[in-house]
Amino acid sequence: MAKTLSLYVERNTFIHRVDSINKILYVLVSVAIPLILPYKFVAIFLILISISFLLLAKVMRRVIPLIEFSVIILLSIVIIQGLFHAGNKTVAFHIARITFYKEGLSYAFTLSTRVINILLAFAILVLTTKPSELIEALVKKGLSPRFGYVLSSALQIIPQMMSAVGSIMDAQRSRGLETEGNLAVRIRAFFPLIGPVVMGSLIETRERAMALEVRAFNSREKKTFLNERQNLRSDNVIRLILFSILSLSIVLRVLL
């Protein structure tokens, strides 16, 4: 298991350098615009933009498995909707004796493009942002430091807990607990793990809580940050662009 739960891919591209908050805003805007302007080409246009960002960030290859997976699911939706969508009237085409209808296909298509759009926008966020930076950016903007800590520590503690399970397994196997074999054996092997895992986690959590306390975690002082990101002009420009696009969409919607 990886040392930290993170999909972040280390690269040095412009997209990577964009402020995490802006990437969150991008996701929000990408999700909102197709809803505000429900034209088919809007979602497709946004998908193309996201793809170009992903290419710029050199992480496109990581996205492909995700795309493949969603395409499979979406394809099944397209088929089901094409066949059975309520309001199917207009025939689109036949395959053998099975009839696909325009309304269903259209609906599924819109749905699919929206889903892919959201996934790609999220992919940009997740693949090009270090979780710790993202969380720290949120904390700087006002997210409770406690909550921020819970999030960032979970990313490392969960893998640790998984390897702790390994140590516990080792200790019990050492005492003759059979873990290899048929399903019944393996299920039975599960029980001697529960107690130690739970107790271990409780004890560790408590000890860590004490360690945090004595590192002034609950101090009322205004926190400072070791990693101070310069507020680049480009950050503000990007934010401006995003808000403009959003506003423009709303305006267009009202007008049209």
Residues in contact with another protein by the rule CB under 8 A:
3-4, 130, 132, 149, 152-153, 156-157, 160, 164, 167-168, 170-180, 191-196, 199-200, 203-204, 207-228
Cα–chain center distance at 204: 28
Positive or negative CA dihedral for 139, 145, 147, 149?
A: positive
Q: How far is the CB of 227 from another protein (least distance, A)?
A: 8
User: To the nearest whole angstrom, how small is the minimum distance from the Cβ of residue 62 to another protein?
Assistant: 20
- How far is the C-alpha of 256 from the C-alpha of 69, rounded, in Å? 36
> 6 or 106, CB closer to another protein?
6
Q: Between residues 178 and 236, which has the closer beta carbon with respect to another protein? A: 178
Per-position b or e across 68-82, b if 16+ CB within 10 A of its CB: eebeeebeebbbebb
- Residue 8: CB minimum distance to another protein, A: 10
Query: Which C-beta is closer to another protein: that of 150 or that of 241?
Result: 150
Q: Which is nearer to another protein, 103 or 204 (CB)?
A: 204
Instruction: List, in order, residues 6 or more apart from 8 with CB less than 8 Å away.
Output: 126, 127, 128, 129, 130, 131
CB of 187 to another protein, least distance (A): 15
Sign of CA dihedral 239, 228, 209, 203: positive
The least CB distance from residue 4 to another protein, in Å, is: 7
Q: Which class for 163: exposed (0-12), middle (13-18), buried (19 or more C-beta within 10 A)?
A: exposed
Angle at 143 (CA atoms; ends 139, 145), nearest 5 degrees:
65
CB of 22 to another protein, least distance (A): 22
Cα radius of gyration rounded to whole Å, the chain: 25
Q: Which is nearer to another protein, 191 or 243 (CB)?
A: 191
Taking the least distance from each CB to another protein, the nearer of 72 and 183 is 183
Q: In whole angstroms, how close is the CB of 198 to another protein at the nearest point?
A: 9
The rounded distance, in Å, linking the Cα atoms of 184 and 229 is 54
The residue among 112 and 152 lying less far from another protein, judged by its C-beta, is 152
Q: Kindly give the residue spans of alpha helices, DSSP state H, lying in 175-255.
A: 183-188, 191-214, 233-255
> CA of 45: how far to CAs of 33, 40, 41, 48, in Å?
11, 9, 6, 5
